[in-house]
């Protein structure tokens, strides 16, 4: 379990555009298709990462809490499935079903989308405003597997609340930390 931090893409960066297959529905979706009226959360996750598994209960609560408030929720897996078959599309479908995902779980087979976002780890979070400009990138909260800190989603929740309620956001944003994306 490697500890890889986010690359921290520059705030204000335009949302990279993509069109990827949703492993839940077998439809192809673009950012434009899935964006929310108030903003969009793009998460790079995978099925096997202990950091993702640890954070998943809070990720699901955030999706449920904020989807109804106009935040589009998108999960993307970009791992090399040749070396990590547990992250392949069929396993993504099963993982999403088992964990009751109510948002698209997109497969980035070429890894071009992860590169466009400068994603480095799982989980990696990117929150874009309604104008598709990067508002927040970084961690869910300070909780990590086995560090004893209770999962709260506080950093990401504070960012989403600031976006929705037009509040300023702290200038310091902590990078996420997780398993590195498994590059080809």
- Assign 30 to helix, strand or coil: strand
Length of the chain: 184
Instruction: Enumerate the domain spans of the chain.
Output: 4-180
What whole-number distance in Å separates Cα of residue 78 and Cα of residue 184?
10
pLDDT tens for the chain, 184 residues: list them: 568 889 989 999 999 999 999 999 989 999 999 999 999 999 999 999 999 999 999 999 999 999 999 999 999 999 999 999 999 999 999 999 999 999 999 999 999 999 999 999 999 999 999 999 999 999 999 999 989 899 999 999 999 999 999 998 877 899 999 999 999 9
Tell me 14's DSSP state: B
What CATH class has 4-180? alpha beta
Q: What is the pLDDT of residue 3?
A: 85
Q: Are 27 and 105 in contact (CB under 8 A)?
A: no
Judge contact between 56 and 74, C-beta under 8 A: no
181: closest CA among 72, 44, 23, 65? 44
Report how far residue 70's alpha carbon sits from residue 47's, in angstroms, rounded to the nearest whole number. Answer: 26
Ordered strands of the 28-30 beta sheet? 28-30, 19-22, 105-107, 71-77, 39-44, 124-129, 134-138
**pLDDT score of 146:** 85
CA distance 182 to 180: 6
For β-strands 39-44 and 71-77, DSSP reports them as: parallel
């Amino acid at each position: 379990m490697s500890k890889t931090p986010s690359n921290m893409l520059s705030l204000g960066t335009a949302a990279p555009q993509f069109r990827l297959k949703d492993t839940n529905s077998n439809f192809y979706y673009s950012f434009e298709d899935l964006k929310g009226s108030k903003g969009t959360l793009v998460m790079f996750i995978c099925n096997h990462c202990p950091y993702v598994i640890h954070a998943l209960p809070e990720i699901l609560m955030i999706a449920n809490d904020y989807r109804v408030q106009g935040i589009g929720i998108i999960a993307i897996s970009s791992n090399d499935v040749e070396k990590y078959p547990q992250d392949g599309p069929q396993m993504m479908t099963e993982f999403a079903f088992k964990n009751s995902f109510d948002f698209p779980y997109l497969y980035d087979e070429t890894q071009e989308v992860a590169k466009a976002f400068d994603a480095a780890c799982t989980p990696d979070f990117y929150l874009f405003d309604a104008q598709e400009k990067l508002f927040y990138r970084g961690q869910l909260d300070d909780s990590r597997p086995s560090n004893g800190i209770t999962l709260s989603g506080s950093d990401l929740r504070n960012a989403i609340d600031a976006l929705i309620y037009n509040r300023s956001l702290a200038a310091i944003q902590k990078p996420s930390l997780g398993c590195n994306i498994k590059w080809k």
